[in-house]
């Protein structure tokens, strides 16, 4: 245990030295294991308190990276216009993720930058019942309420929120349903696969 604490201390020290001069990056130390839910809530509370004008946040996991440019300005612009969009998931594989959620319709929105082929065609967000902790863009207020509603925060939110996303799409009328989940139109994140597992795409 002492060896793990020493390694963590060295790792934290290197992170501080690496990012101390960058005002866009803040390291939030954890004095105990808050797990995913607790750590996310802690970070969101800090954002809400110190930058109250922020409406959207990117939820990024350390082992996923973007494989393609994302038109962030277009996404945020559409979320400003369309209050139904609470969450945009970035897929890590082709197919396999539901593009349906009850009677919700896909959302078409305009690019703000051309793609690599100089295309300015419209982009699409597909409604989905598939919640994931993988990289996504969310409304901060909505996400804080959803995570807080779990009550037990020292856990991964993915399983209980997946169940509640299914409920929301089926409109079963439960008070803890979640709504407004959408899927980005193409595969755009990759997995670093630090454990070198062959099953990881």
DSSP per-residue string spanning 85-136: --EEEPPSSSS-S----TTPPPEEE--SS--TT---PPEEEEE-S---SSSE
pLDDT per position as a tens digit, 59-104: 999 899 999 999 999 999 999 999 999 999 999 988 789 999 999 9
Q: What percent of the chain has pLDDT over 70?
A: 93
Whole-angstrom distance, CA of residue 41 vs CA of residue 86: 17
- pLDDT in the model for residue 198: 56
Whole-angstrom distance, CA of residue 177 vs CA of residue 115: 36
Can you give the pTM of this predicted structure? 0.87
């Amino acid at each position: 245990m002492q060896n793990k604490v020493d390694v963590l201390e060295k790792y934290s020290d290197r992170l501080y030295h690496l990012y101390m001069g960058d005002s866009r990056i803040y390291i939030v130390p954890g004095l105990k294991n808050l797990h995913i839910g607790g750590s996310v809530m802690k970070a969101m509370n800090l954002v809400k308190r110190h930058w109250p004008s922020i409406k959207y946040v990117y939820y990024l996991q350390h082992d996923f990276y973007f494989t393609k440019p994302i038109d962030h300005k277009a996404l945020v612009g559409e979320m400003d216009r369309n209050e139904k969009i609470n969450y945009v998931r970035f897929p890590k594989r082709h197919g396999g993720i539901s593009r349906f959620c009850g009677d919700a319709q896909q959302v078409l929105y305009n690019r703000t930058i051309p793609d690599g082929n100089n295309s300015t065609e419209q982009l699409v967000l597909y409604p989905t019942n598939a919640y994931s902790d993988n990289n996504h863009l969310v409304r901060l207020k909505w996400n804080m309420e959803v995570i807080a509603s779990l009550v037990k925060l020292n856990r991964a939110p993915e399983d209980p929120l997946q169940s509640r996303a299914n409920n929301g799409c089926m409109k079963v009328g439960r008070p803890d349903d979640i709504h407004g989940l959408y899927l980005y139109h193409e595969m755009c994140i990759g997995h670093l696969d630090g454990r070198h597992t062959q099953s990881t795409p």
